[in-house]
Chain A
Amino acid sequence: MTIDLGRHGIRESDDPTIPGDYVSPVTGYETNSLIENPANLHQPPMVFDPYQSTRLRGPRNKLVPVASSRTERTAPVYGFHNIGRMDNDLTIQHDGQPLGEKIVIVGQVRNDAGQPLPNTLIEIWQANASGRYIHKKDQHPAPLDPNFTGAGRTFTDENGYYKFITIRPGPYPWGNHHDAWRPAHIHFSLLGRAFHQRLVTQMYFPGDQLLEIDPIYMANPSARARDLLIARFDRRFDVPGIALGYRFDIVIGSPRATPFE
């Protein structure tokens, strides 16, 4: 499968660094990139008090640093999903059209050396346009959509690109604190070609007023890392008259330690 990147193509760049003080291109906020440089400051902490579920679930002991062995550097070929050609289109899984705003999400999966990661399994799941998950434990009294399940999967192509067609999920209230609302988001899960290439994250939408008051999104101390969880509105990927395009690239880090053996 090769993903059509649209009529404008994809620009190449070999300059991933942003020197000096960092001003968010999304929110306009300034952050000093120098104090953010250590890699572990670009990931959320294990316990982040405003996100209440972390209080009893995040380990309190330091992670034990280890070198990787062959077990960490290998991974299966994923035979457990019999992925259909259309599994990346969440809008055609039922007889009728789902409610909501149809969107296209295109992105590239790379490692932290900038190399594209082909043949990477991406699984997504999300709420419907009303902010309701089909999950049986979701108690939000918003309506289910009989034409929308909200789960999709695909592999990246030979250049690391993927594409999903779905609808924009709605925000929804949750029980973390009084009148808490999650910003609209889509869950992403990636399995690479090594056990350590594992990522579960969430994609957010530009301009969402709920982001700055969301304890899950804000748990990452790095403004730059948070920004990169927000898809870019990108009309190169529009299906004209049908769906608006977004770009969401994903970077999978490498282990820091030197392998033993």
Chain B
Amino acid sequence: MTTTPRAMREMETSRLPSGSQTVGPFFHYGLLENGDVPLIRGTDAPAGQRIRIEGRVFDGAGDPVNDALLEIWQADGFGQFNTECAEASFDGFGRLHSREDGSFVIDTVLPGRVDGQASHLNLHLFSRGLLNHLFTRIYFEGEPGLDSDPMLTEVPEARRRTLIARRDGSSDGLDRYRFDLHMQGSEETVFFAL
């Protein structure tokens, strides 16, 4: 097919944001070449309270989503973002896929508060059937600042709990939390638009 000068110019000068398309079911070997990208790598021991968040991803029928991709971005235990040194022991980025039963495990440190916000992880959710990826946050039950957090307070009160990981005990210095993602349904997780 001939490419006209106009078609070429449009490609080279467009300022229209590129259209999103689904990640599809086969992203694993493209985005997780060496497996999941954990937040805590190898024997690294970044400063801060170690936490484990366990959860599952569900669709609108309540069935587990076994082909979701989760990307995490968070501050370190001091509330600082590592944007300069990729070799440091904690860069705040993680990538993981859901298992056959829809489950995932996030091992990390409790992020410090950033500019007065409550402690939170940023989460991008991708999957087959999502034409646009979804942006949400994970907050933590019992942590200070939940009532005044600028993003959480934008959410209707009845739905805020969908964003708050539930405390689930401690063991071996690890604080445990539960957090499920519901893509639809009465418990649908709150997703944000920037």
Contacts and interface: CB of A to CB of B under 8 A. Distances in A.
Given A44-B20, A55-B60, A249-B11, A66 B151 contact: yes
Given A67-B150, A151-B33, A137 B19 contact: no
Nearest to B68: A57
B145 interface: no
Given A260-B150, A261-B115, A51 B27 contact: no
Interface in B64-89: 65, 67, 71, 73-75, 81-87
Interface in A123-151: 123-125, 133-135, 137-138, 149-151
B129 A53 contact: yes
Interface residues of B, number: 83
Contacts, number: 275
A123 B31 contact: yes
Interface in B160-194: 183-184, 188-194
Contact of B19 (A54, A81, A225, A234): A225
Contacts of A96: none
B26 A112 contact: no
A221 B6 CA distance: 22
Contacts of B132: 43-44, 46
Interface residues of A, number: 99
A227 interface: yes
B50 interface: no
A252 interface: yes
Contact of A77 (B1, B21, B83, B151): B83
Interface in B99-151: 114-115, 117, 120, 122, 124, 126-135, 150-151
A178 B30 CA distance: 28
A59 interface: yes
A51 B131 contact: yes
Interface of B: 1-4, 6-31, 33, 37, 59-61, 63, 65, 67, 71, 73-75, 81-87, 91-93, 95, 114-115, 117, 120, 122, 124, 126-135, 150-151, 154-155, 159, 183-184, 188-194
16 contacts: A11-B12, A51-B131, A58-B129, A61-B191, A77-B85, A133-B26, A133-B29, A135-B28, A151-B29, A222-B19, A226-B19, A227-B7, A228-B10, A250-B18, A251-B16, A251-B17
